[in-house]
Amino acid sequence: MASPVTMVTPVITGELKSKIDRVWDAFWSGGISNPLEVIEQITYLLFIRRLDDLQTLAERKARTIGTNVIENPMFLPGQENLRWSRFKNTAPEVMYNTVATQVFGYLRGLGDQLGGDGSTYSEHMRDARFTIPTPALLSKVVDMVDGIPMADRDTNGDLYEYLLSKIASAGVNGQFRTPRHIIKLMVEMMAPKPDDEICDPACGTAGFLVAASEYVRETHAEALLDATQRQHFHRSMFHGFDFDSTMLRIGSMNLLLHGIESPDIRYRDSLSEGASAEAARYTLILANPPFAGSLDYEATAKDLQRVVKTKKTELLFVALFLKLLQPGGRAAVIVPDGVLFGSSKAHKDLRRTLVEDQRLDAVVKLPSGVFRPYAGVSTAILFFTRTDSGGTDNVWFYDVKADGFSLDDKRNPVADDDLPDVLARWSSRLVEPVETTWSELTRDRTEQSFCVPKADIV
């Protein structure tokens, strides 16, 4: 198993950042104040620019082999004026007219033009709407997008992460992102491998999938030199579901800009449709599902009700994760404290399933300020393995008191941080045989981390 790495994320330069900030302010003063809408409009333009880059590559390839036939063209004869490299140099009014009336029409019909290629990008562009209000603002945004070095995966990814952090500062629509350092901890504890099939059934902006892809690139670079592995990495390793089409567009663009060519990001109301088609398909689930209260029994998939009879979304999501995992598959998921301590029959049934029928590996308790300023909920990360035959022996508990940021609404960086210790103690299992000599087994329950035998939990 690969040793834990620290993922170092390059930060976008001050110049690019201030350019984004200026465009952001221009959107706001232009009357678009919903950060999701701003990001969505920038996403469309990034996508249009990428299509032009792909066409340019295909043309270069055709010239190199001495043919006029362009393989998989993005633009057909007569569509030259829709290309980024053409319209970006036109006068603001002309550009505005071209983009609003023709380019967006082209985007919406892209799937059909490419022979219904079924790529998630063409799927998500079907209901693309252009809402930039003025030629002057469009011209400003096109200039910014044109100044981004698209060939650099790190810059692309960082740019998009910076845009997404703007959602965080606005806490829009009750949608908030899992803090990046918590995602990173969960990914490093699960240590994804190049042959994993990874799923996030409530993927939002796809933060877990992006972090998993970066981890695999950094710890298994040599595996990705193999053509079959590389194909799997780009086309069948990363799966995400969401029922918000804006999030699907933003999430799939996030993966694209982090260098994943064709991730499987799909519309799906994970709890209300039967999971049977996807049952036992994935080897790793990473998720922070919404804890949105309760659903009607009628609206909930029957196969999940068989695992746990409840209307509570957080319990149904854990049942869904078990359903989606292959036997031997692992999960790291964030749940509200109620899942650990709730006293209803459904809560107890679910805990019994995790401990008796599957293998509960660890519970990492997070401080309640982790999701501020949007929510002060108390949460924990559950780590479990689907076995269908039990196997819970000792469950490892860690009570995180500090995560490197102040636990108030400001969330300023602070010196206290338990997360490196969480990872180090968890990873020591790999060196020491867990059953007998793992040092965590002998720690007292008054310590910050300790193990509890299954009998005590039962």
**Rounded distance between C-alpha atoms, residue 186 and residue 130, angstroms:** 37
Question: H-type helices in 280-389, by residue range?
Answer: 302-307, 313-324, 338-341, 345-352
Contacts of 325 (CB under 8 A, 6+ apart): 280, 282, 283, 285, 331, 386
Segments of the chain scoring below 50 in pLDDT? 1-10, 170-174
Residue 444 pLDDT: 95
In degrees and rounded to multiples of 5, residue 258 shows phi and psi of: -95, 15
What residues contact residue 1 under an 8 Å CB cut-off, 6+ apart?
191, 193, 430
Q: What angle do CA 404, 184, 6 make, to 5 degrees?
A: 85
| Residue 128 to residue 199: CA distance in whole angstroms | 26
Q: How far apart are CA 420 and CA 411, in angstroms?
A: 18
Radius of gyration of the chain (CA): 24
Q: What was the pLDDT predicted at 3? A: 37
Query: CB within 8 A of 26, min separation 6: which ones?
Result: 137, 140, 141
Q: What does the alpha-carbon distance between residue 14 and residue 20 come to, in Å, rounded to a whole number?
A: 10
CA distances 49 to 45, 257, 266, 387, Å, are: 6, 12, 23, 46
Contacts of 111 (CB under 8 A, 6+ apart): 117, 118, 119, 122, 123, 125, 126
Q: Cis peptide leading into 192, omega within 30 of 0?
A: no
3 state SS for 182-207: HHHHHHHHHCCCCCCCEEECCCCCCH
Q: What is the separation of C-alpha 10 from the centre of its chain, rounded to a whole number of angstroms?
A: 19
| pTM of the full structure | 0.87
Q: Closest by alpha carbon to 360, among 319, 338, 331?
A: 331
Q: Which long-range contacts (CB under 8 A, 24 or more apart) does 105-111 make?
A: 106/79, 106/82, 107/44, 107/47, 107/48
The two beta strands, 403-405 and 413-417, are: antiparallel
- Alpha carbons 293 and 434: distance in angstroms, whole number: 38
Under 8 Å between Cβ of 339 and 347: yes
Alpha carbon distance 13, 20 (integer Å):
11
Tokens linked to 300:
């909930």
